[in-house]
Amino acid sequence: MSQKSKIFAIICIFTYEFLILTVMRIIQKLLFVVLAAVLIASCSPYSKLSEEQRVVVDEALSKAYVRAIEKPDLKLDITHIIPQGMPSKISTGEFSLRLEGDVVTTRLPYIGVSRQPLYAGADEISIVFNEEKVDLKKDFSKAKKGVYKYKFKGGEGYYKWEISLILYDNGKATIDCNCTDGRSMNYYADIVLLD
């Protein structure tokens, strides 16, 4: 056997051993992640409930959401920002909408194209309501299916907003914002119970 053949054989053996060790490390990490997920799931108080108890808890939560929606007295924590014609963005919890009776408080980001230039002194376009009283319109025609809708209008200057809140009895919500001088925006949110 020549010197080159011996060197090639040694390199192949080391490469083979390296690949086997790498694959084994990856398998170990995957097993660790799966084991951790199983342990975390088994430690959850909800997972320890029987099926009947889970149904009772889910029904109680649904009733609490419906009470908050019908008042209305709730806060929507934005989870996803969905600009029209652009990729969605995950919100890190800094945006919310507060609805207390017919008073709205929110500052939601606007991502998109505006048909009007920004006015002097403005560096952004946002959907802003600072404890503003609005003409709140209800649509509970699909309440039996767990869907509740509110609509209101607002905005200043060029940017007038028509906002639709679609609230579900499972604690989820969708916010649709239509702008007179820009693209529409959508947001996904979780309903936060304030009682």
Same domain assignment for residues 98 and 26: no
Q: Is the pLDDT of residue 68 over 80?
A: yes
Print the domain residue range for 34: 3-47
**43 and 139 fall within a common domain:** no
In this predicted structure, what is the pLDDT of residue 76? 92
Asked if the structure places residue 65 within a domain, the reply is no
Same domain? For 38 and 116 the reply is: no
For residue 108, pLDDT over 90 is answered with no
End-to-end CA distance of the chain: give it in Å, rounded: 83
**19 and 74 fall within a common domain:** no
Both 75 and 38 in a single domain?
no
Going from the C-alpha of 54 to that of each of 43, 49, 146, the distances in angstroms are: 15, 6, 19
Q: What is the pLDDT of residue 47?
A: 63
Evaluate whether residue 93 is within a structural domain.
yes
**75 with 144, same domain?**
yes
Q: Are residues 81 and 27 in the same domain?
A: no
Which of 19 and 166 is assigned the larger pLDDT?
166
Mean pLDDT of 164-190: 88
pLDDT at residue number 69? 86
Q: Do 21 and 107 share a domain, yes or no?
A: no
The sign of the torsion formed by the CA atoms of 163, 143, 49, 30 equals negative
> Does residue 110 share a domain with residue 33?
no
CATH at residue 161: 2.40.128.410
Establish if 86 belongs to a structural domain: yes
Domains in the chain, number: 2
Average pLDDT, the chain: 80
Q: Spell out where 34-156 has E strands.
A: 73-83, 89-90, 96-100, 103-109, 126-133, 137-139, 147-156
Q: How far apart are CA 157 and CA 181, in angstroms?
A: 10
Q: Span 24-52, mean pLDDT?
A: 75
Is residue 61 in some structural domain? no
Nearest C-alpha neighbor of 126 from the set 49, 175, 185: 185
